[in-house]
Amino acid sequence: MEDLLPRPRVAERAPGAFGLSPGAAISGPAGLVDAVRLALPVLDLRPGSHAAIQVAEDPSLGPEAYGITITAAEVRITAADRAGAHYAGQTLRQLLPAEAFRAAALPGVAWALPCGRIADAPAFPWRGAHLDVARHFFPKREVLRLIDLLAAHKLNRLHLHLSDDQGWRVESRAYPRLHEVGSHRDRTVTGFHGEEPAFDGIPHGGHYTLHDLAEIAAYARARAVTVVPEIDVPGHSSAILAAYPELGPLPEKRYRVLDRWGISPAILSPLPATVDFLATVFDEIIGALGPTPYFHIGGDECVLDDWAASERVRAYQAELGLDSPSELHAWFLHRLADLLAERGVRAGSGTRPS
């Protein structure tokens, strides 16, 4: 039990072991039982009465908390919620032989759990990982695999970076050029910062359909992981503007999906048409993800030169009674945060403009 990861608050070993086999019975509230079974797929536990593996709900434990008592005769799990039950199952998985992490049960494995008592609750409510699919696209199967790894380590957030200068990665039915144009770049820079730029000459692209995104979110939710989408605006917008240049502050400018790293001067205009565009895209993404408590809107590393150069943007800034592009940048992010709040979603953002 000393090898459990993360280390639980209480882990006490006792003599003996509990033996089980694939197809063993498990009983308790259906939602909690399902969460434990999902953490132990190789064992194919079957819901049933008078089971040696018993799950009970105990809200007093607190969110995501659980307790496990293992004797030679039975396994008792208490959990505050579905997440706690899933983490209890993941703990049992770590206590089993390494074959518990395979996709199918192997013959001849002695499935046994050491006797003892375990109790755990999270030290931090936000425990997650960031996956930047905007710059380097990963197929859906790799995202689902990452969710499995997060769940196995009791991490509960997947920050999914869906757009940046180097690519737009989600279908839009309202604005299809986003994924038709913005999801592909001709090449990618190679080498180190400060060197003469060199490129691989290999086209790079890909995007998730809205159904893909719904599948990812449902798969994550079942494993106590919340997907946090990120659409980075108003800067980092080369891919958006390559598809819809009219959303930029200078109508005569044309853009391409960026093939290198660094801070780009490409920026969306802060005008009402851009807000309407983003509201529609946000609705599409939120509609696919389902209940979404958080939505990241970036907001950092914004070069405001094109705002200052745009007569339309300067006039809009004056109309709002703002004194500078920096104030307009803050206003724009607050406007998007309010827009998301109207949809019951909390906005997250980066740092100040460049």
Q: How far is 75 from 354, CA to CA, in rounded Å?
A: 57
Q: Determine which helix (DSSP H) or strand (DSSP E) holds 309, and give its type and residue range.
A: helix 305-309
Verify whether residue 50 is a known catalytic residue. no
Sign of the Cα torsion 247, 251, 257, 261 reads negative
Q: Which of 161, 184, 204, 236 is catalytic?
A: 236
Q: Which of 99, 132, 180, 301 is catalytic?
A: 301
Verify whether residue 99 is a known catalytic residue. no
Residues 6+ apart with CB under 8 A from 329: 234, 270, 299, 302, 304, 307, 353
> Which H, E and C letters describe 33-48, residue by residue?
HHHHHHHCHHHCCEEC
CA distances from 146 to 82, 138, 168, 291 (A): 20, 10, 20, 21
* 238-241-247-249 Cα dihedral, nearest 10 degrees: 50
Verify whether residue 276 is a known catalytic residue. no
Q: At what angle do helices 272-289 and 210-222 cross, to 10 degrees?
A: 50
Q: How far is 74 from 111, CA to CA, in rounded Å?
A: 14
Residue 254 burial (C-beta neighbours within 10 Å; 0-12, 13-18, 19+): exposed
Q: Which of 164, 165, 171, 232 is catalytic?
A: 164
Q: Please list the active-site residues.
A: 164, 236, 301
